A = this chain, B = another copy of it.
Amino acid sequence: MHNNQKKIASELNPNVSVDCVIFGFDLEQLTVLVIDRGEISAANGPRLALPGNLIYDNENLDQAASRVLEELTGLSNIYLEQVGAFGDPFRIHKESDREWLKSIRAQPDARVITVAYFSLVKISDYLPHASSFAKNAGWAPVNEISELAFDHFEILQAAKDKLKQKIKIQPIGFNLLPEKFTLSQLHRLYESILDKPLDKRNFRRKIQKLNILSNLKEKQRGVPHKPSSLYEFNEEKYQELTQMGFDNFGF
Protein backbone atom coordinates (compact mmCIF):
# COMPACT_ATOMS: atom_id res chain seq x y z
CA MET A 1 0.00 0.00 0.00
CA HIS A 2 0.94 3.60 -0.28
CA ASN A 3 2.00 5.35 2.84
CA ASN A 4 2.10 8.80 1.41
CA GLN A 5 -1.54 9.66 1.69
CA LYS A 6 -1.15 12.84 3.65
CA LYS A 7 -3.97 13.83 5.89
CA ILE A 8 -5.73 16.51 3.97
CA ALA A 9 -7.48 19.17 5.97
CA SER A 10 -11.27 19.09 5.67
CA GLU A 11 -11.63 22.48 4.17
CA LEU A 12 -13.95 23.71 1.52
CA ASN A 13 -12.31 23.87 -1.86
CA PRO A 14 -13.16 27.35 -3.12
CA ASN A 15 -12.91 26.37 -6.76
CA VAL A 16 -15.03 23.25 -7.14
CA SER A 17 -18.66 22.64 -6.36
CA VAL A 18 -21.25 19.98 -7.05
CA ASP A 19 -24.81 20.63 -8.13
CA CYS A 20 -27.55 18.03 -7.95
CA VAL A 21 -30.42 17.57 -10.29
CA ILE A 22 -32.72 15.53 -8.10
CA PHE A 23 -35.49 14.00 -10.13
CA GLY A 24 -38.78 12.79 -8.76
CA PHE A 25 -41.98 11.52 -10.34
CA ASP A 26 -45.35 12.48 -8.91
CA LEU A 27 -47.10 9.76 -10.93
CA GLU A 28 -48.09 12.43 -13.42
CA GLN A 29 -44.90 14.07 -14.51
CA LEU A 30 -41.21 14.32 -13.95
CA THR A 31 -40.25 16.79 -11.26
CA VAL A 32 -37.05 18.24 -9.97
CA LEU A 33 -36.09 19.45 -6.54
CA VAL A 34 -35.26 23.15 -6.52
CA ILE A 35 -34.48 25.56 -3.76
CA ASP A 36 -36.05 28.96 -3.51
CA ARG A 37 -33.54 31.64 -2.64
CA GLY A 38 -36.30 34.17 -1.99
CA GLU A 39 -36.02 37.81 -2.92
CA ILE A 40 -32.42 38.70 -3.45
CA SER A 41 -31.71 42.32 -2.65
CA ALA A 42 -32.54 44.78 -5.36
CA ALA A 43 -31.33 42.72 -8.23
CA ASN A 44 -34.03 40.69 -9.86
CA GLY A 45 -33.25 37.36 -11.33
CA PRO A 46 -34.36 33.78 -11.00
CA ARG A 47 -35.24 32.80 -7.45
CA LEU A 48 -34.91 29.11 -8.04
CA ALA A 49 -31.68 27.16 -8.08
CA LEU A 50 -30.45 23.62 -7.98
CA PRO A 51 -29.08 22.43 -4.67
CA GLY A 52 -25.32 22.44 -4.63
CA ASN A 53 -22.30 23.47 -2.70
CA LEU A 54 -18.54 23.61 -2.62
CA ILE A 55 -16.77 20.33 -2.07
CA TYR A 56 -14.53 19.50 0.85
CA ASP A 57 -10.94 18.69 0.17
CA ASN A 58 -11.15 15.25 1.70
CA GLU A 59 -14.14 13.94 -0.17
CA ASN A 60 -14.40 12.76 -3.73
CA LEU A 61 -16.99 14.09 -6.13
CA ASP A 62 -19.51 11.30 -5.68
CA GLN A 63 -19.29 11.73 -1.94
CA ALA A 64 -19.80 15.46 -2.23
CA ALA A 65 -22.92 14.91 -4.29
CA SER A 66 -24.27 12.36 -1.81
CA ARG A 67 -23.58 14.74 1.01
CA VAL A 68 -25.40 17.63 -0.65
CA LEU A 69 -28.31 15.36 -1.40
CA GLU A 70 -28.44 14.06 2.13
CA GLU A 71 -28.06 17.50 3.70
CA LEU A 72 -31.07 18.64 1.75
CA THR A 73 -33.35 15.63 1.93
CA GLY A 74 -32.00 13.40 4.65
CA LEU A 75 -31.86 10.60 2.10
CA SER A 76 -28.88 8.35 1.61
CA ASN A 77 -28.20 5.43 -0.66
CA ILE A 78 -29.75 7.12 -3.61
CA TYR A 79 -29.14 6.51 -7.29
CA LEU A 80 -26.60 9.12 -8.38
CA GLU A 81 -24.80 9.62 -11.61
CA GLN A 82 -22.43 12.24 -12.87
CA VAL A 83 -23.67 14.45 -15.67
CA GLY A 84 -20.48 16.34 -16.29
CA ALA A 85 -18.44 19.38 -15.42
CA PHE A 86 -19.51 22.92 -16.16
CA GLY A 87 -16.83 25.53 -16.08
CA ASP A 88 -17.61 28.61 -18.06
CA PRO A 89 -15.64 31.48 -16.51
CA PHE A 90 -18.77 33.59 -16.66
CA ARG A 91 -21.21 31.09 -15.32
CA ILE A 92 -21.63 33.36 -12.29
CA HIS A 93 -22.28 36.52 -14.20
CA LYS A 94 -25.84 37.46 -13.24
CA GLU A 95 -26.03 40.27 -10.74
CA SER A 96 -28.55 38.44 -8.62
CA ASP A 97 -26.31 35.39 -8.42
CA ARG A 98 -23.33 37.47 -7.40
CA GLU A 99 -25.35 39.14 -4.67
CA TRP A 100 -26.43 35.80 -3.36
CA LEU A 101 -22.95 34.37 -3.33
CA LYS A 102 -21.79 37.29 -1.24
CA SER A 103 -24.19 36.19 1.43
CA ILE A 104 -23.15 32.54 1.52
CA ARG A 105 -19.55 32.23 0.36
CA ALA A 106 -16.27 33.23 1.91
CA GLN A 107 -14.85 33.98 -1.55
CA PRO A 108 -17.86 35.00 -3.58
CA ASP A 109 -15.80 36.06 -6.58
CA ALA A 110 -13.73 32.90 -6.92
CA ARG A 111 -14.01 31.07 -10.17
CA VAL A 112 -15.94 27.89 -9.53
CA ILE A 113 -16.12 24.82 -11.71
CA THR A 114 -19.12 22.74 -10.88
CA VAL A 115 -19.66 19.04 -11.36
CA ALA A 116 -23.29 18.17 -11.95
CA TYR A 117 -25.00 14.98 -10.82
CA PHE A 118 -28.45 13.69 -11.33
CA SER A 119 -30.23 11.50 -8.86
CA LEU A 120 -33.48 9.61 -8.83
CA VAL A 121 -35.57 9.54 -5.69
CA LYS A 122 -38.93 8.13 -4.79
CA ILE A 123 -40.90 11.27 -4.28
CA SER A 124 -42.76 9.81 -1.32
CA ASP A 125 -39.46 9.41 0.51
CA TYR A 126 -39.03 13.13 0.58
CA LEU A 127 -41.97 15.37 1.06
CA PRO A 128 -40.45 18.78 1.57
CA HIS A 129 -41.45 19.89 5.02
CA ALA A 130 -41.38 23.31 6.59
CA SER A 131 -38.49 22.68 8.92
CA SER A 132 -34.77 22.77 8.32
CA PHE A 133 -32.81 23.77 5.29
CA ALA A 134 -35.59 22.28 3.23
CA LYS A 135 -38.07 24.93 4.23
CA ASN A 136 -37.47 26.63 0.94
CA ALA A 137 -37.11 23.57 -1.23
CA GLY A 138 -39.76 21.87 -3.27
CA TRP A 139 -40.60 19.72 -6.25
CA ALA A 140 -41.24 21.55 -9.48
CA PRO A 141 -42.45 19.92 -12.71
CA VAL A 142 -39.47 19.78 -15.00
CA ASN A 143 -41.38 21.18 -17.92
CA GLU A 144 -42.50 24.26 -16.08
CA ILE A 145 -39.02 25.48 -15.31
CA SER A 146 -37.86 28.16 -17.65
CA GLU A 147 -35.02 29.77 -15.78
CA LEU A 148 -32.70 29.01 -12.91
CA ALA A 149 -29.78 30.64 -11.17
CA PHE A 150 -26.28 30.54 -12.63
CA ASP A 151 -26.01 27.99 -15.43
CA HIS A 152 -28.40 25.67 -13.67
CA PHE A 153 -30.90 25.66 -16.46
CA GLU A 154 -28.25 24.40 -18.81
CA ILE A 155 -27.29 21.78 -16.25
CA LEU A 156 -30.89 20.70 -15.92
CA GLN A 157 -31.12 20.31 -19.66
CA ALA A 158 -27.99 18.19 -19.72
CA ALA A 159 -29.30 16.06 -16.88
CA LYS A 160 -32.60 15.49 -18.68
CA ASP A 161 -30.72 14.43 -21.78
CA LYS A 162 -28.53 12.08 -19.82
CA LEU A 163 -31.52 10.54 -18.10
CA LYS A 164 -33.32 10.15 -21.41
CA GLN A 165 -30.34 8.41 -22.87
CA LYS A 166 -29.69 6.26 -19.84
CA ILE A 167 -33.21 5.01 -19.45
CA LYS A 168 -33.03 3.51 -22.92
CA ILE A 169 -30.23 1.33 -21.68
CA GLN A 170 -30.95 0.48 -18.08
CA PRO A 171 -34.16 0.21 -16.09
CA ILE A 172 -33.18 2.95 -13.67
CA GLY A 173 -36.67 4.39 -13.79
CA PHE A 174 -37.67 2.13 -10.94
CA ASN A 175 -35.79 4.39 -8.58
CA LEU A 176 -38.44 7.00 -9.19
CA LEU A 177 -41.43 4.83 -8.40
CA PRO A 178 -42.87 3.54 -5.13
CA GLU A 179 -42.13 -0.06 -4.21
CA LYS A 180 -45.46 -1.13 -5.62
CA PHE A 181 -46.57 0.44 -8.83
CA THR A 182 -48.81 -0.15 -11.79
CA LEU A 183 -47.81 -0.62 -15.38
CA SER A 184 -49.65 2.56 -16.27
CA GLN A 185 -47.54 4.50 -13.85
CA LEU A 186 -44.41 3.02 -15.33
CA HIS A 187 -45.75 3.84 -18.75
CA ARG A 188 -46.40 7.45 -17.86
CA LEU A 189 -42.95 7.68 -16.33
CA TYR A 190 -41.28 6.55 -19.53
CA GLU A 191 -43.39 8.89 -21.56
CA SER A 192 -42.48 11.86 -19.44
CA ILE A 193 -38.79 11.06 -19.45
CA LEU A 194 -38.63 10.35 -23.16
CA ASP A 195 -41.01 13.21 -23.80
CA LYS A 196 -43.05 11.38 -26.37
CA PRO A 197 -46.06 9.09 -26.40
CA LEU A 198 -45.47 5.36 -26.33
CA ASP A 199 -48.05 2.88 -27.52
CA LYS A 200 -49.64 1.23 -24.52
CA ARG A 201 -49.66 -2.34 -25.74
CA ASN A 202 -46.22 -2.21 -27.26
CA PHE A 203 -44.84 -0.68 -24.11
CA ARG A 204 -46.33 -3.36 -21.91
CA ARG A 205 -45.10 -6.12 -24.16
CA LYS A 206 -41.60 -4.76 -24.17
CA ILE A 207 -41.42 -4.26 -20.43
CA GLN A 208 -42.86 -7.67 -19.74
CA LYS A 209 -40.31 -9.31 -21.97
CA LEU A 210 -37.54 -7.97 -19.79
CA ASN A 211 -38.69 -10.21 -17.01
CA ILE A 212 -37.80 -7.87 -14.24
CA LEU A 213 -41.26 -7.28 -12.87
CA SER A 214 -43.06 -9.39 -10.32
CA ASN A 215 -46.80 -9.26 -10.52
CA LEU A 216 -47.96 -8.95 -6.94
CA LYS A 217 -51.23 -10.71 -6.34
CA GLU A 218 -52.69 -7.46 -5.31
CA LYS A 219 -54.75 -4.73 -6.85
CA GLN A 220 -55.21 -1.03 -6.48
CA ARG A 221 -58.03 -0.08 -4.11
CA GLY A 222 -60.36 2.84 -4.07
CA VAL A 223 -59.76 4.03 -7.59
CA PRO A 224 -62.86 5.07 -9.52
CA HIS A 225 -62.21 2.69 -12.35
CA LYS A 226 -60.98 -0.79 -13.00
CA PRO A 227 -58.19 -1.36 -10.53
CA SER A 228 -54.78 -2.12 -11.86
CA SER A 229 -52.60 -4.89 -10.55
CA LEU A 230 -49.53 -3.87 -8.69
CA TYR A 231 -46.02 -4.87 -9.61
CA GLU A 232 -42.69 -4.67 -7.97
CA PHE A 233 -39.26 -4.47 -9.42
CA ASN A 234 -37.36 -7.73 -9.21
CA GLU A 235 -33.79 -6.84 -8.48
CA GLU A 236 -32.57 -10.41 -8.69
CA LYS A 237 -33.71 -10.82 -12.27
CA TYR A 238 -32.23 -7.47 -13.08
CA GLN A 239 -28.82 -8.47 -11.77
CA GLU A 240 -28.94 -11.63 -13.87
CA LEU A 241 -29.74 -9.56 -16.88
CA THR A 242 -27.03 -6.95 -16.46
CA GLN A 243 -24.40 -9.61 -15.93
CA MET A 244 -25.28 -11.31 -19.17
CA GLY A 245 -24.30 -8.17 -20.99
CA PHE A 246 -27.68 -6.66 -21.41
CA ASP A 247 -27.66 -3.14 -22.69
CA ASN A 248 -30.64 -2.15 -24.69
CA PHE A 249 -34.21 -1.37 -23.94
CA GLY A 250 -34.63 0.22 -27.28
CA PHE A 251 -37.55 2.52 -26.67
- Chain A residues with CB under 8 Å of chain B are 2, 4-6, 8, 13, 15-16, 55, 57-61, 82, 84-90, 93-95, 98, 109, 111, 113, 115
Contact = CB atoms under 8 A, between A and B. Distances in A.
A59 to B, nearest CB: 7
22 contacts: A2-B93, A4-B93, A4-B95, A5-B90, A5-B93, A6-B109, A8-B111, A13-B15, A13-B111, A13-B113, A16-B87, A57-B111, A58-B89, A59-B89, A60-B88, A60-B89, A61-B86, A61-B87, A84-B84, A84-B85, A85-B115, A113-B115
Nearest 7 CB-CB pairings of A with B: A61-B87, A85-B85, A15-B15, A85-B115, A60-B88, A16-B113, A2-B93
Contacts of A2: 93-95
Given A59-B89, A60-B88, A113-B113, 15 more contacts: A2-B93, A2-B94, A4-B95, A6-B109, A13-B113, A15-B16, A16-B16, A55-B87, A57-B89, A58-B89, A61-B86, A84-B85, A85-B115, A87-B115, A113-B115
A95 to B, nearest CB: 6
Contacts of A86: 61
